[in-house]
């Protein structure tokens, strides 16, 4: 949404004359929008990290692991702009989470994400994934039925605890979503 609105505003600005009233108005609108959306992103990141900390505290977690997407993200994302934004937001979320967890004595350890969402938890073979639901490409295995992000998270934990992927990995039986409570958005302009 941020990039889409920015593109629209930028296009409108480029059609106006330099120093014109119209351009001044549009520029003001652009900066108002940027200010507003950045505050909203900040708010959401705080809500997400607070949820995660609460979850950890409720389960007496001492160490948490997070995927480190450096080097992974570049290939998967298309537009440079979106990619930079995504990386910025992810880095910010990780820093916030690390900071908040540390206040409760919980350590957050980054784990190289490579292979985590493509490695089969049953046979250990890697298959490049295209859909949301994981599908093992090994004909003699064919494991499927778990969301690839959930599988990715279990792969991160597996890698962190065992140094590499193990076969016959234990998967979470129940998946809980920690959706942040987000206040109703106020219009920017
Ligand atoms: Zn398999």
Q: pLDDT tens digits, residue range 67-112?
A: 887 655 555 555 566 666 677 788 889 999 999 999 999 999 999 9
Cα 167 to averaged position of ligand 1 atoms, centre (Å): 9
Cα 127 to averaged position of ligand 1 atoms, centre (Å): 9
Q: Residue 45's closest CA among 1, 99, 5?
A: 99
In a domain, 163, yes or no: yes
Q: Average pLDDT in the 148-175 region?
A: 93
Domain with 158, as residue range(s), is 115-178
In a domain, 61, yes or no: no
Cα 41 to averaged position of ligand 1 atoms, centre (Å): 38
Q: What is the pLDDT of residues 24-82, one digit of tens each?
A: 999 999 999 999 998 998 999 999 999 999 999 999 999 999 988 765 555 555 556 66
Given a contact cutoff of 8 angstroms between Cβ atoms, the answer to whether 102 and 52 are in contact is no
Cα 73 to averaged position of ligand 1 atoms, centre (Å): 24
Average pLDDT, the chain: 88
Domain count, the chain: 1
In a domain, 29, yes or no: no
Gap between the Cα atoms of 180 and 121, Å rounded: 29
In a domain, 105, yes or no: no
Gap between the Cα atoms of 32 and 101, Å rounded: 33
In a domain, 70, yes or no: no
What pLDDT sits at residue 87? 73
Cα 157 to averaged position of ligand 1 atoms, centre (Å): 18
Gap between the Cα atoms of 63 and 105, Å rounded: 9
Q: What is the CA radius of gyration of the chain?
A: 21
Cα 130 to averaged position of ligand 1 atoms, centre (Å): 16
């Amino acid at each position: 949404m941020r990039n889409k609105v920015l593109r629209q505003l930028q296009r409108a600005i480029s059609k106006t004359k330099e120093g014109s009233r119209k351009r001044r108005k549009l520029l003001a609108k652009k900066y108002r929008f940027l200010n507003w959306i950045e505050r909203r992103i900040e708010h959401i990141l705080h809500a997400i990290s607070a949820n995660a900390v609460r979850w950890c505290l409720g389960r007496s977690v001492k160490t948490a692991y997070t995927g480190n997407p450096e080097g992974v993200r570049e290939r998967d994302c298309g537009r440079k702009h979106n990619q930079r934004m995504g990386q910025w937001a992810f880095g910010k979320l990780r820093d916030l989470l690390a900071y908040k967890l540390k206040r409760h004595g919980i350590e957050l350890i980054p784990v190289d994400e490579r292979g985590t969402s493509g490695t089969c938890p049953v046979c250990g073979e890697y298959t490049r994934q295209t859909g949301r639901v994981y599908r093992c490409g090994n004909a003699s295995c064919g494991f499927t039925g778990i969301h690839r992000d959930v599988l990715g998270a279990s792969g991160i934990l597996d890698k962190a605890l065992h140094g590499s992927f193990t076969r016959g990995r234990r998967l979470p039986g129940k998946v809980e979503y920690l959706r942040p409570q987000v206040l109703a958005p106020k219009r920017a302009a």
